[in-house]
């Protein structure tokens, strides 16, 4: 399709002799459609050209060549230059692209570039709670979208399978293992042990020391400690997989922290050779005070490793294995300082410069209960499996009440219930905190996942009623010149650009909001326009547009990890 931004930038570049690629980045889409399809703000040029923005806008308008096959008109409004795209050209291009491209919006802009996405990454022997859910669905959405744009995308589940907490679990199991049935409900029972041993550690510091000693023995490959650790890990992974299956989540690599244990000595060596490894109170650190980042501990005073060292080993391994362009860490914003430290220390590793520069922390807000913060130590968490099961059950009850004869009720309820939960986690800017509330999660009214699914089902219903799909090349595009049709056409045209914006900002809510806007635009179109009508040309045009909306809604929701139901 024609890149209208590019065409506009070329014309502006000729008028004021500035780089067209830079000018293209200035162009934006006005919030009010009355102000055109694209707007060029002249404020940034005021200082460079030493003129008022409105004067610059008027001068550009006078100099540019308006090609009527592309632009209907150009207007000045304040310091903005507003461009109105030729409706017939835009409509024709969208319909033909929709007809010729099965995977609409898919591109190869990421060709020859490798993106790693580390997401989910739960801790072994701890419940998979709603905080992990948010991490998982954000990462999965980014993974899907990068892949759709042609990037070589690798999804990594970096399991928390190492650390002092295992020393605590081992100690708890030594003391009370015969009191708990790990085979029947492993995560639940391990969590009870973990909560119990933590409380004992708070009361008795000698117990905490015993836990630390257990971890040291684990690092030294003590057979008893390793056997228990392997058991905890195996039981946990089976439980996690149930949740991943429910969500439809897959990974290209499932690698725990423990994988990097034999790779840490090289990290110590590299930091030592770089003369940045220092001793502090018996521990080894990298001092980042001059950069305002405090100190990053590399090895504890008792000689045990720390997760920072394992993460550095992981960075080096990934750079050597994948030669990545970007490595995304989908982790809560509470870890912002840690990742700044980690990426700063990673500059001393022997890895390519592009890998060092490609490290990214994708921050998301915390999930809290209305009663306060969750804590596995305290045992007050909402488990994802229970949440998803409850969401499905509630949807089943709604369907039984409104459409008791629906076929495949359980399958459709699963798609709607799980879709509602996923969309709830992606609908708003991910950096914002969320307060978990059942009523909000499962509210099927307003700007929700079920609303988008309902709109999609409505498009299917229209097509079933029509009983045919006209050919794109036979559509009379003049029949789609009304404002409701044009609102949809413009949104469909911007689908690929929306996906690119997601990857530019690593912000899946951009796609979620887009899908809401498209669903709303179709609702307005549906309410204001009769689709099945006596005017055959008009009917053909509206049927094809309806089909196009359904196609984009399905592709978009699938990229977010949401399945579309056939009926609602």
Question: 63 CB contacts (<8 Å, ≥6 apart)?
Answer: 14, 15, 16
| Alpha helix ranges (H) inside 118-263 | 130-148, 164-176, 186-203, 205-219, 223-247
Q: Are residues 22 and 147 in the same domain?
A: no
Average pLDDT value for residue range 388-393: 91
Q: Are residues 203 and 153 in the same domain?
A: yes
Question: 110 CB contacts (<8 Å, ≥6 apart)?
Answer: 146, 149, 150, 151, 152, 153, 503
Contact in structure between 127 and 191 (CB atoms under 8 Å): yes
Burial of 143 (0-12, 13-18, 19+ CB in 10 A): buried
Task: Read off the pLDDT of residues 36-72 as tens digits, 9 standing for 90 and up.
Answer: 999 999 998 888 888 899 999 999 999 888 888 899 9
Q: Are residues 124 and 166 in the same domain?
A: yes
| Confidence at residue 321, expressed as pLDDT on a 0 to 100 scale | 97
Q: Are residues 459 and 436 in the same domain?
A: yes
Domain boundary among 69, 85, 101: 85
Question: 380 CB contacts (<8 Å, ≥6 apart)?
Answer: 369, 371, 374
| Confidence at residue 380, expressed as pLDDT on a 0 to 100 scale | 56
| Mean pLDDT of the residues in the chain | 91
Task: Read off the pLDDT of residues 527-546 as tens digits, 9 standing for 90 and up.
Answer: 999 999 999 999 999 999 99
Q: Are residues 362 and 424 in the same domain?
A: no
- Number of structural domains the chain divides into: 3
Residue 289 lies inside a defined structural domain of this protein: no
Domain boundary among 342, 369, 396: 369
Q: Are residues 58 and 161 in the same domain?
A: no
Task: Read off the pLDDT of residues 153-198 as tens digits, 9 standing for 90 and up.
Answer: 999 999 999 888 899 999 999 999 889 988 888 888 998 999 999 9
Residue 277 lies inside a defined structural domain of this protein: no
On the question of pLDDT at 313 being above 70, the answer is yes
Q: Are residues 79 and 211 in the same domain?
A: no
What CATH number has the domain bearing residue 125? Answer: 3.40.50.620
Phi, psi of 381 (to 5 degrees): -130, 155
For residue 479, give both structure tokens: 């029949």
Contact in structure between 40 and 8 (CB atoms under 8 Å): yes
The rounded distance, in Å, linking the Cα atoms of 475 and 539 is: 10
Range of the domain at 156: 119-260+306-369
Residue 286 lies inside a defined structural domain of this protein: no
What CATH number has the domain bearing residue 528? Answer: 1.10.730.10
| Confidence at residue 68, expressed as pLDDT on a 0 to 100 scale | 85
On the question of pLDDT at 403 being above 90, the answer is no
* Percentage of residues in the chain having pLDDT higher than 70: 97
Contact in structure between 328 and 142 (CB atoms under 8 Å): yes
Strand ordering across the sheet containing 38-41:
38-41, 80-85, 71-77
Residue 537 lies inside a defined structural domain of this protein: yes
On the question of pLDDT at 91 being above 90, the answer is yes
Residue 415 lies inside a defined structural domain of this protein: yes
| Alpha helix ranges (H) inside 32-85 | 43-49, 53-63
Q: Are residues 460 and 551 in the same domain?
A: yes
Assign 369 a pLDDT band (cuts: 50, 70, 90): low
DSSP letter string, 324-378: -SEEEEEEEGGGHHHHHHHHHHGGGSSS-HHHHHTEEEEEEPPEEETTB--BTTT
Residue 148 lies inside a defined structural domain of this protein: yes
Phi, psi of 36 (to 5 degrees): 95, 180
Burial of 82 (0-12, 13-18, 19+ CB in 10 A): buried
Task: Read off the pLDDT of residues 245-299 as tens digits, 9 standing for 90 and up.
Answer: 999 999 999 999 999 989 999 999 999 999 999 999 889 999 999 999 999 999 9
Count how many Cα atoms sit within 13 Å of the Cα of residue 372 in the half-sphere of its side chain. Answer: 4
The rounded distance, in Å, linking the Cα atoms of 202 and 297 is: 24
Q: Are residues 255 and 319 in the same domain?
A: yes
| Alpha helix ranges (H) inside 64-116 | 87-100
| Alpha helix ranges (H) inside 442-534 | 449-466, 483-493, 495-505, 509-528
Average pLDDT value for residue range 90-97: 95
Residue 70 lies inside a defined structural domain of this protein: yes
Q: Are residues 551 and 411 in the same domain?
A: yes
Collapsing DSSP to helix, strand or coil, 181 comes out as coil
How many CB atoms sit inside 10 A of residue 188's CB?
14
Contact in structure between 422 and 560 (CB atoms under 8 Å): yes
Residue 72 lies inside a defined structural domain of this protein: yes
Q: Are residues 451 and 523 in the same domain?
A: yes
Q: Are residues 395 and 331 in the same domain?
A: no
């Amino acid at each position: 399709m024609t890149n209208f931004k590019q065409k506009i930038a070329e014309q502006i570049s000729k008028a004021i002799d500035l780089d067209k690629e830079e000018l293209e980045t200035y162009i934006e889409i006005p919030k009010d459609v009355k102000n055109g399809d694209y707007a060029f703000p002249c404020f940034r040029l005021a200082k460079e050209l030493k003129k008022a923005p409105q004067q610059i806008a008027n001068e550009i308008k006078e100099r540019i060549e308006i090609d009527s096959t592309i632009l209907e008109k150009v207007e000045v409004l304040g310091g903005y230059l507003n461009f109105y795209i030729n409706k017939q050209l835009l409509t024709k291009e969208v319909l033909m692209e929709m007809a010729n491209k099965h995977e609409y919006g898919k591109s190869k802009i990421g060709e020859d570039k490798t993106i790693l996405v580390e997401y989910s990454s739960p801790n072994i022997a701890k419940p998979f709670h709603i905080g992990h859910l948010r991490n998982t669905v954000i990462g999965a959405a980014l993974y899907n979208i990068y892949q759709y744009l042609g990037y070589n995308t690798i999804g990594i589940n970096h399991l928390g399978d190492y650390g002092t907490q295992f020393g605590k679990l081992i100690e708890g199991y030594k003391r009370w293992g015969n009191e708990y049935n790990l085979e029947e409900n492993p995560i639940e029972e391990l969590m009870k042990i973990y909560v119990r041993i933590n409380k004992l550690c708070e009361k008795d510091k000698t117990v905490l020391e015993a836990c630390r000693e257990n971890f040291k023995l684990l690092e030294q490959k003590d057979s008893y400690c390793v056997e228990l650790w392997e058991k905890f890990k195996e039981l946990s992974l089976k439980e996690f997989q149930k949740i991943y299956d429910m969500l439809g989540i897959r990974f290209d690599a499932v690698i725990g922290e423990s994988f990097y244990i034999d790779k840490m000595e090289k990290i110590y060596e590299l930091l030592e050779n770089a003369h940045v490894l220092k001793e502090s109170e018996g521990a080894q650190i990298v001092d980042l005070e001059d950069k305002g980042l405090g100190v990053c501990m590399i090895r504890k005073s008792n000689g045990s490793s720390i997760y920072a060292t394992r993460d550095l080993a992981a960075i080096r391994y990934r750079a050597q294995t994948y030669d990545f362009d970007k490595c995304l860490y989908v982790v809560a914003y509470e870890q912002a300082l840690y990742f700044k430290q980690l990426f700063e220390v990673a500059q001393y590793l022997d890895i390519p410069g592009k890998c060092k520069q490609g490290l990214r922390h994708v921050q998301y807000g915390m999930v809290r209960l209305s009663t306060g913060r969750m804590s596995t130590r305290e045992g007050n968490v909402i488990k994802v499996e229970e949440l998803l099961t409850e969401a499905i059950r509630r949807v089943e009850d709604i369907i039984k009440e409104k459409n008791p004869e629906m076929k495949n009720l359980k399958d459709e309820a699963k798609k709607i219930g799980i879709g509602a939960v996923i969309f709830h986690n992606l609908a708003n800017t991910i950096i914002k905190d969320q307060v978990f509330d059942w009523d909000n999660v499962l509210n099927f009214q307003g700007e929700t996942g079920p609303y988008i699914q309902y709109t999609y089902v409505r498009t299917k219903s229209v097509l079933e009623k029509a009983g045919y799909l006209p050919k794109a090349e036979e559509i009379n595009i003049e029949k789609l010149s009304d404002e409701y049709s044009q609102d949809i056409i413009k949104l469909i045209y911007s689908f690929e650009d929306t996906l690119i914006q997601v990857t530019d900002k690593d912000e899946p809510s951009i796609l979620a909001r887009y899908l809401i806007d498209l669903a709303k635009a179709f609702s307005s179109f549906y309410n204001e326009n009769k689709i099945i009508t006596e005017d055959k040309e008009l009917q053909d045009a509206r049927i094809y547009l309806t089909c196009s909306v359904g196609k984009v809604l399905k592709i978009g929701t699938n990229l977010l990890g949401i399945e579309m139901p056939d009926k609602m």
